[in-house]
Amino acid sequence: MFRFLARMIARLANSPEWQSLVQSGETLDQTIHTLYARRRAVIACCAWTIVSLVLNSGEIFIALWALNLHATIIHAIILQSTVLTVRNVAFAVPSGLGVQEGGYVLIGGLLGIDGTTALALSLIARVRELGFGIPGVIVWQLIEARRLLRARLAANVR
């Protein structure tokens, strides 16, 4: 597919510089074909993705239960998977800020969950992200500051 697209662009551009794009397209095609030829690995990846989705839906199910909503695990899976889809479609928005919340309100409304409760569910999901994200960023900054300090000390010694 990529080789085909690259050839079409090269023909339209009618320029030899575009031939490297054709070569890159062929390489990408071969790489994708090699990856998908490993059927067991592809199936295992799909299985782990489904398990991850179901386990993450448990968080939403517990939140629905805590908010006294009588939802099933199916509701939680539907809500989690569609909101993740909405968030992935809007990948250009950093951390899906606003997109995730809108997705919860929209999909929650379709499942019979009022807007304020759906927004509360979204914020519950954000707490987990913040709980892991903020300490991770702090540790990363400490590691980088230490590396920078070592580089400066090494430059001063010379």
Q: How far apart are CA 85 and CA 106, in angstroms?
A: 13
53 and 66 housed in the same domain:
yes
The reported pLDDT for the residue numbered 37 is: 92
The reported pLDDT for the residue numbered 87 is: 86
The reported pLDDT for the residue numbered 18 is: 61
51 and 27 housed in the same domain:
no
30 and 46 housed in the same domain:
no
Pick the more confident residue, 97 or 48: 48
47 and 32 housed in the same domain:
no
What are the tens digits of pLDDT across the range 62-120?
989 998 888 889 989 998 898 889 888 888 888 788 898 999 999 989 888 899 999 98
126 and 63 housed in the same domain:
yes
70 and 31 housed in the same domain:
no
44 and 31 housed in the same domain:
no
The predicted model gives 5-31 an average pLDDT of: 67
The reported pLDDT for the residue numbered 29 is: 80
80 and 144 housed in the same domain:
yes
Pick the more confident residue, 26 or 18: 26
Q: Which residues, including other chains, have CB under 8 Å from residue 75's CB and lie 6 or more apart?
A: 61, 64, 111
The reported pLDDT for the residue numbered 16 is: 63
60 and 129 housed in the same domain:
yes
Domain count across the chain? 2
The reported pLDDT for the residue numbered 7 is: 63
What are the tens digits of pLDDT across the range 114-146?
999 999 888 888 888 888 888 999 999 999 999
* Segments of 33-150 assigned E as strands: none
24 and 91 housed in the same domain:
no
Q: What is the largest CA-CA distance in the chain?
A: 69
49 and 122 housed in the same domain:
yes
What is the pTM assigned to this prediction? 0.63
User: For residue 150, what are the domain limits?
Assistant: 40-157
Helix axes 19-37, 2-13, angle to 10 degrees: 170
23 and 96 housed in the same domain:
no
